[in-house]
């Protein structure tokens, strides 16, 4: 099974640049209407312009921004060097909401909000 998580974004180019810098990787697909990054074997995060979601779903779904919803979702990534990933996110335009801390569920994690309103957590197991 291959799993795709698709984020609806206001500006595909801006979000592509943000995730390329933060993840330190280039997209595996980058065409008008969709950008994809491989997170691990079988797991992909995609970036679709909100206009594409509107074309796909029509009036059946209200885009989160139009509905006034924020935060939109959380992306929780367990990585090596959570602090380095978090720092890159802040440097590239994310807004910090909780710095690097030992959390009570066994991870050291930091949280920020990306340019489209998604919460991003970078975590690593606490030793």
Residue indicated by tokens 């949280």: 111
pLDDT in tens, 67-88: 665 667 889 999 999 999 999 9
Rounded-to-integer distance, Cα 120 and Cα 46, Å? 15
> Which tens digit of pLDDT belongs to each residue from 85-105?
999 999 999 999 999 999 999
Handedness of CA 61, 66, 71, 76 (dihedral sign): positive
Q: Read off the CATH number of the domain in which 119 is found.
A: 3.10.180.10
Query: What is the residue range of 13's domain?
Result: 3-125
Query: In the chain, how many domains are there?
Result: 1
């Amino acid at each position: 099974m291959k799993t795709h998580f698709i984020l609806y974004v206001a500006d595909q180019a801006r979000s592509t640049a943000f995730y390329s810098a933060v993840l330190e990787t280039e997209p595996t697909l980058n065409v008008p209407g969709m950008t994809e990054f491989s997170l691990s074997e079988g797991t992909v995060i995609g970036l679709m312009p909100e206009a594409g979601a509107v074309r796909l779903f029509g009036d059946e779904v209200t885009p989160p921004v139009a509905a006034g919803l924020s935060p939109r979702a959380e992306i929780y990534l367990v990585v090596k060097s959570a602090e380095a990933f978090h720092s890159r996110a802040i440097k590239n335009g994310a807004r910090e909401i909780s710095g690097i801390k030992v959390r009570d569920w066994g991870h050291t994690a930091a949280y920020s909000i990306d340019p489209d309103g998604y919460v991003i957590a970078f975590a690593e197991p606490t030793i």
